[in-house]
Amino acid sequence: SQSNSKVNLTSNENAKTVTEWYRQRMKSQGYNSTSVVQTQSNEKVLNKLAGATNNSSVKIEITQENNSALVFITVELSASNSSI
C-alpha cells in the first residue's frame, strides 16, 4: 500500500548545511537523486531535492529568506515502507 506524508521543520543551521545533511541522508537511505536545484537570489535561498528508490520517493524543499536565522524545510515522502 502507498502512504504519503508531509512534515514542515525549521533549523538554526544555514541552508547550505541543511541541504548537505539531507543529501547525505537521502544517499544513506538508498535514494537515488533524481533532481537537485539550488537557487539564490535577492538574499533568498531555495533548494529542492528529490530522490527515489524502487518503492518510494522523497521531495525536500529548503528555504531561507533575507539571511534569516531560521531555515524552513518541507519533506514530502511517498512510500510503501521507508523512513528518512
Question: Under the phi-then-psi rule, with left for phi > 0, alpha for psi from -120 to 50, and beta for the rest, what region is 42?
Answer: left
The whole model's pTM is what?
0.86
Measured CA distances, 42 to 10, 30, 64 (Å): 21, 35, 11
CA distance 72 to 70: 6
Which pLDDT tens digit goes with each residue over 9-64?
Answer: 999 999 999 999 999 999 999 999 889 999 988 889 999 999 999 899 999 999 99
